[in-house]
Every structure is written in structure tokens, then in C-alpha cells.
Amino acid sequence: MAHDAAHAHDAGDHGGHHGHPTGIMRWLTTTNHKDIGSLYLWFAGIMFLVAGSMALIIRAELFQPGLQVVNPDFFNQMTTLHGLIMVFGVIMPAWAGFANWQIPLMIGAPDMAFPRMNNWGFWVLPVAGALLIISLFMPGGGVAGGWTMYPPLFIQGGISYDMTIFAVHILGASSIMGSINIITTILNMRAPGMTLMKMPLFVWTWLITAYLLIATVPVLAGAVTMLLTDRNFDTHFFNAAGGGDPVMFQHIFWFFGHPEVYILILPAFGVVSQIIPTFARKPLFGYASMVYATASIAILSFIVWAHHMFTVGMPAAAQLFFMYSTMLIAVPTGVKVFNWVATMWKGSMTFETPMLFSVAFVCLFTIGGFSGLVCAMTPVDIQIHDTYYVVAHFHYVLVSGALFAIIAGVYYWLPKWTGHMYDEKLGKWHFWLSTISMNITFFPMHFLGLAGMPRRYADYALQFAEFNAIASVGAFIFGASQLIFLWVILKAIRGGNKATDQVWEGAEGLEWTVPSPAPYHTFETAPVVK
């Protein structure tokens, strides 16, 4: 167990101890939290290119009215898989990568609590990803029912629908394994003195996220299992002709689905709460209120689900309940935004790339929050339901929210992860191009939605042409800008200026101040916890 931190990754090449696996076997058998963190991040990055390309196919088709690039059925397959892969294959695995890399370092644990389950939790992911992508090429075509998998559409399709259900089961199993690991690690393996209320906020947000996952992923698994039996074993859970109820699927799905959107965004709150204090050179304002706000958001997320279903025909009392409970979430979210602003207030701020993305997060996520409040109002939502207004809303939350926080976190910790500084100049190019093009893409969608353009159609009426053309131009600039990001990451991995011990001037916390030897271990040599 005497491997030196800096040389741990080369141990196999030295012909070192007990013939550690090298090459592909090293990655297949690794139980080291840093290796597994990297695997998650690479998987998320590759799937980001896949699902991002699908978005560009969508935007190419919508560049002009009339069909020009793909047929409507393939268009629907693209919107469905773009959503499924971005949620389950990009943002969730990226956060799992951050959790694996950072949580042990931040709380002073030698590794995750269950290193072998950690390995398994990652390696089922590529199987699910492959199932989703291969399903596109199956007889009968790919899944075209939307990422929410609503019946009756989702009961009718071919084999690709069964493959998608299987993929969702696998993804769920992976999430459950990851969550059990994260909760156990945080509750049992903190260094002496690291009390719960001293934990870095990123650790807090992931602890709460892990509870959300454990509470909701089995609900999703139940929903898709009922779809599976409706499809293959003649049950009629969601078939009105057999006494079932298709709307029941929506209730079950969104009981998972709304907490799921907080699963995607809570770790983002955590990352931004690490970055802003560093570059404002002030401690986080309102730490305890941040923890309580995160917990409040998580609890409230369980009682708002039917705000996705205002048009299914609900009693007025239910509409009022889901409207008011949804609006209530603005309170703890507002607490967070005010705390981030107060942290920056009178700080001696500098604007390196991680800070730029974090400040953009605070501004643009807040736009997504406000349009969420608009959507929450029942009478307004009945008007804008299934229009591009909703598409604009959730892309502000997920692109300039979750994705920007992931990018900010990658820039922030890349020196820690690779040992090299990234190229600040290219980082700034990446930031400005992404931020400007993100707004060019998604802001016009508010106008399209208010004017009545429905989502999930390959074509549209002539009066929507201008804003669609603008959105498509923005999308292609955004897509191209992400190639800069890829280049910056590859450059930092391959070399560049050595990162110093204290990478960021204002950074505090265990992860920056305590040396963190990477335990070299695999299935053959399990970690020894002293």
C-alpha cells in the first residue's frame, strides 16, 4: 500500500507489485474512486457528443418550414433519444463522476465505501447507452414516443421500445448503486472533525440528491415495468379499453420525474457554491440556509408532480394545490440565488473561466426559474402546455443550469484532476461563445411558444420561420463551441503548466490542502481502510 500518489497511475508499467492489470483490464477492474470518476466523466462526454448531434439534427430540420433534412418519424426518434440520453447518459453520469472524484477528497475518506459496487455501478452504464443507440436501428424504427415514455404511444411501438425499457431499468440500477455508495460514504467515512454542518456544500447537495434517487428511481422502474407487461403480457395498467388508465402513467412518471429535475440541478447548486466563494475570496454567505434550502427543495419536489399535467382534466382543488406547491419552491431557490449574490457582494472578484460559467449560471438559471413560475400558473400553463415556451424553460434550467455548472466544475477541478492548468484563453472563448449562442438558441423559443408553436413536430407554420432560423443558427454555434471545450480538456490531460499545490488563490477545503494519494487497487487488491 505504499504507492506514491504521483506514480500510482504508472504502477502497472513498472511491472510493480503483484502484476496490476494494465490497459483495458485496468479500467474494467478498477475500484479506485478517481479512475471511476474519470470513467463516468468520459462516458458523459461521449454521450454529450451523441445527444448533442441529435439536437443539431433537430435544429437542422427546424431551420426552415417544410421538410428538408429528415422524415417526421426519424425527427421524433431524435427528440426522444436526445432527451433520454441528455438526462440519463450525460448529466446524471457527469454528476456521478464529480461525486466519485470529489466526495472522498472533500470529506477526507480514503475511497468510496463500496469500491467494487462502484465499479459495477459504472460498467452497466455503457450497456444501457448501447441499448438506447442500437434501438434506433431495430426493425420498426427507434423509439419516437418522447423521453417521457407516455402510453398509449409507448405501448404500441416495436422492439426498440422494449430495449429502451430495459435500458431505463439498467440506468436505474446504476443510480441506486451509486446513491447507496454516496450516502454510506458521507455518513460513515468523514475525517475526524468533519461534522455534517462543516461539509462542503457540494457534498451536502449530493447527499440529498442520493436520497432523492433512492426514493424515486424505483418508482420509475415500476412505471416502465408496467409498460413492459402491458406490451408483452396482456396486462392493462395503462390501457383504457381493458379498464386501465393512461393518465395513471403520467402521475407515476412525474412522481419520479419532478424530483428527477432536482437530481439534475442540486449538484449544480453544490458546484456553484464551491466556485463562487473561491473567486470572490469570501466564505459562502448563509451556509446553513443553503443546506436547509437544498433540503426544502428536495422535500417540496415530491408534492408538485402534477404541474406537468394541468391539461389532463383535474379537479380545480388539485390544480390549485399543484400550482401553489410549485410556486413555494421559488422561496428556497430564491434563498440560494440571494446567497450567491451576497457571497459576491463586495468580494475581490476575479473572472477565470470557472467563475464566468458560475456567474452565467446564476443569471441564466434564474431566467429558467422565472419562466418555471410562469409555467406553474395553471391557467397560463393550459395555454402554453406542450409549446416551445416549455422547451425554452427547461433548456434554460438544464443547459445554462446543469450543463454550465458541469462545465464550470470541470474547469475548476481540471488542474486537480490532471495536474495541469487548462488554457485560460481558450476557456474564455468557450465561455463567451457558449453563453451568447445558448441565448440565441433558446431565448427565441419563449416567443415561439407564446405564439403557439407546439413542440415535437418536424414542421411548422410559416409565421414561426424567423425565430426558428435564429434558434438553429445559435444551436450550431453552441455545438461548435463545445469542440473548444473538448480541445481544452485534451490539452490539459496531455500537458501544459503544472498545477501548483494551491491552484486557486481563494480556494479552501480539504480537497485543496491535503495531499490525496490515489489508491491503486482493483478487484484483486481491494483497498485497505486503516
| Smallest distance from Cu ion to CB 445, Å | 18
Q: Which is nearer to Cu ion, 3 or 258 (CB)?
A: 258
- The residue type of 502 is Q
Q: Which is nearer to Cu ion, 258 or 395 (CB)?
A: 258
Q: Is residue 262 annotated as part of the catalytic site, yes or no?
A: yes
Q: Is residue 33 annotated as part of the catalytic site, yes or no?
A: no
Q: Is residue 7 annotated as part of the catalytic site, yes or no?
A: no
Chain residues binding Cu ion by CB under 5 A are 258
| Smallest distance from Cu ion to CB 398, Å | 12
If 0-12 CB within 10 Å is exposed, 13-18 middle and 19+ buried, where does residue 166 land? Answer: middle
Q: Which is nearer to Cu ion, 258 or 393 (CB)?
A: 258
Q: Which is nearer to Cu ion, 258 or 430 (CB)?
A: 258
Q: Is residue 326 annotated as part of the catalytic site, yes or no?
A: no
| Smallest distance from Cu ion to CB 258, Å | 4
Q: Which is nearer to Cu ion, 322 or 413 (CB)?
A: 322
Q: Is residue 160 annotated as part of the catalytic site, yes or no?
A: no
CB neighbour burial string for 305-344, b if at least 16 within 10 angstroms, e if fewer? bbbbbbeeebeeeebebbbebbebbeebbebbbebbeebb
Q: Is residue 430 annotated as part of the catalytic site, yes or no?
A: no
Q: Is residue 179 annotated as part of the catalytic site, yes or no?
A: no
Q: Which is nearer to Cu ion, 20 or 258 (CB)?
A: 258
CB distance 81 to 145 below 8 Å: no
Q: Is residue 111 annotated as part of the catalytic site, yes or no?
A: yes
Q: Is residue 260 annotated as part of the catalytic site, yes or no?
A: yes
Q: Is residue 31 annotated as part of the catalytic site, yes or no?
A: no
Pick the catalytic residue from 308, 385, 393, 446.
308
- Three-state DSSP string of 445-479: HHHHHHCCCECCCCCCCHHHHHHHHHHHHHHHHHH
**ω into residue 315 within 30 of 0, thus cis?**
no
Pick the catalytic residue from 174, 209, 216, 400.
174
Q: Which is nearer to Cu ion, 309 or 410 (CB)?
A: 309
Pick the catalytic residue from 35, 61, 230, 260.
260
Pick the catalytic residue from 31, 273, 294, 522.
273
Pick the catalytic residue from 40, 101, 147, 204.
147
Closest to 358 measured CA to CA, from 413, 293, 299, 423: 413
| Smallest distance from Cu ion to CB 367, Å | 17
Q: Which is nearer to Cu ion, 258 or 385 (CB)?
A: 258
Pick the catalytic residue from 3, 82, 385, 393.
82
Q: Is residue 325 annotated as part of the catalytic site, yes or no?
A: no
CB distance 408 to 361 below 8 Å: yes
| Smallest distance from Cu ion to CB 52, Å | 24
Q: Which three cell numbers stand for residue 408?
A: 464550470
Q: Which position has the grid cell 496490476? A: 20
β-pair partners for 30: 522
Contacts of 154 (CB under 8 A, 6+ apart): 143, 145, 161, 227
Measured CA distances, 220 to 94, 179, 224, 428, 452 (Å): 20, 16, 6, 40, 31
| Smallest distance from Cu ion to CB 382, Å | 16
Using CA atoms, how far apart are residues 372 and 374, in angstroms rounded to an integer?
A: 5
Cβ-proximal residue to Cu ion, closest one: 258
Q: Which three cell numbers stand for residue 65?
A: 418550414
Contacts of 435 (CB under 8 A, 6+ apart): 356, 360, 364, 400
Using CA atoms, how far apart are residues 436 and 360, in angstroms rounded to an integer?
A: 10
What is the CB neighbour count within 10 angstroms for residue 103?
Answer: 25
What is the CB neighbour count within 10 angstroms for residue 195?
Answer: 8
Q: Which three cell numbers stand for residue 292?
A: 436547509
Q: Which is nearer to Cu ion, 98 or 211 (CB)?
A: 211
Pick the catalytic residue from 35, 61, 111, 352.
111
| Smallest distance from Cu ion to CB 268, Å | 16
- What phi and psi, each to the nearest 5 degrees, are found at residue 30? -65, 140
If DSSP codes are grouped into helix, strand and coil, which group holds residue 522? strand
| Smallest distance from Cu ion to CB 82, Å | 19
| Smallest distance from Cu ion to CB 220, Å | 14
Pick the catalytic residue from 34, 59, 258, 446.
258
Using CA atoms, how far apart are residues 218 and 101, in angstroms rounded to an integer?
A: 26
Closest to 204 measured CA to CA, from 265, 275, 264, 292: 292
Closest to 455 measured CA to CA, from 147, 160, 161, 248: 147
Q: Which is nearer to Cu ion, 258 or 282 (CB)?
A: 258
| Smallest distance from Cu ion to CB 346, Å | 36
Q: Is residue 511 annotated as part of the catalytic site, yes or no?
A: no
Using CA atoms, how far apart are residues 107 and 129, in angstroms rounded to an integer?
A: 31
What is the CB neighbour count within 10 angstroms for residue 94?
Answer: 26
* Maximum distance among all Cα pairs of the chain, rounded to whole angstroms: 71
CB distance 384 to 320 below 8 Å: no
Q: Catalytic residue numbers?
A: 82, 111, 147, 174-175, 258, 260, 262, 273, 307-308, 333, 336, 455
